[in-house]
Chains A and B, each alone.
Chain A
Amino acid sequence: MERVERIIIDEEKCIGCRLCVKSCPVDVLRFDETKKKAVGAYPQECEWCLICEEHCPKDCLRVQPKIPTPVFEFIR
């Protein structure tokens, strides 16, 4: 059940502080040790809680939700 379209990280602005990586409970964001930048490695698991955006000191991260979000519901 994928809930986001994409995760956009502005590499120019990213300072590699890893705060977004540490704020993700579901291992969506990883740190690229070569580039020293955050990457949206597993957007399939993203729940767009946006806590990563809240932690980014450079405002260089944006999560684009997929709407409508699939609802697991059953009504007869």
Chain B
Amino acid sequence: MKSLEALGNVLTTDVLVVGGGMAGIPAAIAARESGAEVLIVDKAYTGLAGQSPRGGNGIVALKKGADLDKYCEYISTQVGRYLNDQKALRNYAEHVYPTIEKLDEWGVELTKHEDGSFGYFDLPVGPWWMMGINLYCADNMRKTAEKKGVRLQNHVNITDLLKENGRVVGAVGFDIISGDFCIFRAKTVILACGANNFRATRMFTNSGEGNSLAFNAGAQVRNAEFVFLEVAAAKTGETLHGAQMFVFNQDGENVWDKYVDWPAQDVCAEMILGMAREYREGRGPLYIDLSKLSEAMKVVAGDIHNPIVGGLRRQFPDKISWVTRLEEREKEVFGGLGDKPEAKFALHGNAGFVRVDQNFRTTVPGLYSVGLDTGNGSAIFGSAPQPAGRRGGPFMYCPTTGRIGGMSAAEESKGMDVVDATADQVEALREHAYASLGHSGKIGPREMFDRIQAAALPLEFFIIRSGKNLNKAIGALEDMRQEIRSDLTAKDYHELKLCHEAETMALCTEIVLKAALTHTESRDFHYREDYPKQDNKSWLKWVIAEKSGDGIGIATEDVPIGEYPYRPAEA
């Protein structure tokens, strides 16, 4: 039998973390602090990879001693609309404040008062607060991780997980620069890849490998139908965080006030549906009046050059420098957004539906997932699609879930031996890794992205769904599946990475749409015009998907609402 070393570069660790961003690094440090050998692998560069180094917002935070009952009640009834795993939510809430202390210890800059205590901003939405966080927070933690002995493997694209006797025992991938094949042997694997953004919105670059790696390894996914949309500037296609309450129609009416009842989430489906209605009924174009921003909302969406709110500095020099550069470039190239930019809505994505329990174990032994890969799948935020817990939420969700998952994986790894996958399996997965290099040049990955987007991503499939339009999009994606396998072609290793991203995007989109087709009611961003009402009698259910032969098997599972403290009147 061939040795693994004959097949590629072999690296061995206790805990393998796939993804070196805002969730993966905390997971790695937490696992390391629990005594495990840890290796992070990222297809870019750990610390500056992922989305957090392009994050304009703050961090949604809980104070020490915050009323967690009130928080969990609000999240269950208003945000998650009863599709939460309320036990996991409670466990999450209890870990939030200790994680803030850890972030501080690990080198992240957070807002503080002169006496060194944490500084919080009041927010007009939800029972939570906001803190400022520095732009390169993940890179600060990367330095801490390295000091503590976490090893890094950069520019390696993981393409498959290794399994033996039903258990995940490592991963394989290729170096996007040298092309070398890499084999990782590990006692446990943590996926922290940051969800799928369908390449729809600028700077939301995550491609969703967590979903596809878990799914292809046999793990269940959950709540995939809920995909996030956001108010966007028509000129740039960029989403405008915090602007949704200041969108006006041509009659001068505030669209938020017209359609949204309090207590509402600060990013909500009613607003996006309301905007769609305004356009349909001829009251567009809509515009954002930035001069109407209240003092409190300036914390969320305020002028970056006036970063002192309530005596606390929300922005840090790295973020101010970066945002200033972006604004100057915008002004230079197209004159900037102006005071009243035209408002549309755009698909934001952040679809991360790997099903995990409250310790961030997936349904496959040895495999964990944390951060945005689990934003839907953990069900902590129920029907609320990403950003979990709302704007600024991922900055809290990622490190908190990363820490919990990192500690759990390290604990499980104790006393275990590394198990080798068979050489036959590794060889087969090596073929999958490089398959697109051997194809005959029929279709490149960029063309494939365009085709997936054209077939399945027009917003009708995401904002106003029906059985008819969903079936049409699903049919188109099913037709593309074989083409991706046999015709998708890469000219070099960069394009090979793109081919894997296209494969992942097609799979994720198909899962979202099939879950949406199964879910015959409307709730949050899942709006079916053929089933327009929320139905708490029949639909306190999770839509579950898992690999079934060559395709996607879909099932539903009752939310165990009887075991939970917060229930709708009908249940």
Which chain B residue shows the least CB distance to A54? B322
Report the interface size class on chain B.
35 or more
Which chain A residue shows the least CB distance to B53? A51
For this complex, 6 residue pairs linking A to B, each with C-beta atoms less than 8 Å apart, are A22-B154, A27-B44, A47-B205, A49-B203, A68-B236, A73-B347
Q: Closest approach, in angstroms, between the C-beta of B394 and any C-beta of chain A? A: 15
Residues of B within 8 A of A51 (CB): 48, 53-54, 322
Which chain B residue shows the least CB distance to A67? B334
B322-A72 in contact (CB<8A): no
Docked Cα-Cα span, A67 to B322, in Å, equals: 20
Docked Cα-Cα span, A44 to B491, in Å, equals: 14
Which of B50, B235, B346, B463 is A25 in contact with, Cβ under 8 Å? Answer: B50
Known: A67-B334, A68-B334, A72-B347. A24 touches B177 (CB 8 A): no
CB of A65 within 8 A of chain B? yes
Residues of A within 8 A of B48 (CB): 22-25, 51
Q: Which residue of B44, B280, B458 has the most chain A CB atoms within 10 A of its CB atom?
A: B44
A27-B276 in contact (CB<8A): no
A27-B176 in contact (CB<8A): yes
Residues of A within 8 A of B333 (CB): 64-65, 67
Which chain B residue shows the least CB distance to A3? B202
Chain B contacts with A in 373-419, Cβ cutoff 8 A = none
Q: Closest approach, in angstroms, between the C-beta of B444 and any C-beta of chain A? A: 10
Docked Cα-Cα span, A45 to B202, in Å, equals: 11
Chain A contacts with B in 56-76, Cβ cutoff 8 A = 63-65, 67-76
Which chain A residue shows the least CB distance to B238? A69
A residues sitting closer than 8 Å to B (CB atoms) are 1, 3, 21-27, 30, 41-42, 44-45, 47-51, 53-54, 63-65, 67-76
Mask, B418-450, CB within 8 Å of A = 1, is: 000000000000000000000000000010011
Which of B198, B237, B321 is A54 in contact with, Cβ under 8 Å? Answer: B321
Chain B contacts with A in 122-179, Cβ cutoff 8 A = 154-155, 176-177
Docked Cα-Cα span, A67 to B202, in Å, equals: 12
Which of A1, A48, A64, A74 is B449 in contact with, Cβ under 8 Å? Answer: A1
Which chain B residue shows the least CB distance to A42? B494
B237-A69 in contact (CB<8A): yes
Mask, B201-216, CB within 8 Å of A = 1, is: 1110100000000000
B450-A73 in contact (CB<8A): no
Q: Which residue of A27, A41, A64, A71 has the most chain B CB atoms within 10 A of its CB atom?
A: A71
B237-A73 in contact (CB<8A): yes
Docked Cα-Cα span, A23 to B322, in Å, equals: 13
B203-A47 in contact (CB<8A): yes
A71-B237 in contact (CB<8A): yes
Docked Cα-Cα span, A23 to B49, in Å, equals: 7
Residues of A within 8 A of B237 (CB): 68-73
CB of B36 within 8 A of chain A? no
A26-B276 in contact (CB<8A): no
Known: A42-B494, A48-B329. A72 touches B346 (CB 8 A): yes
Residues of B within 8 A of A44 (CB): 446
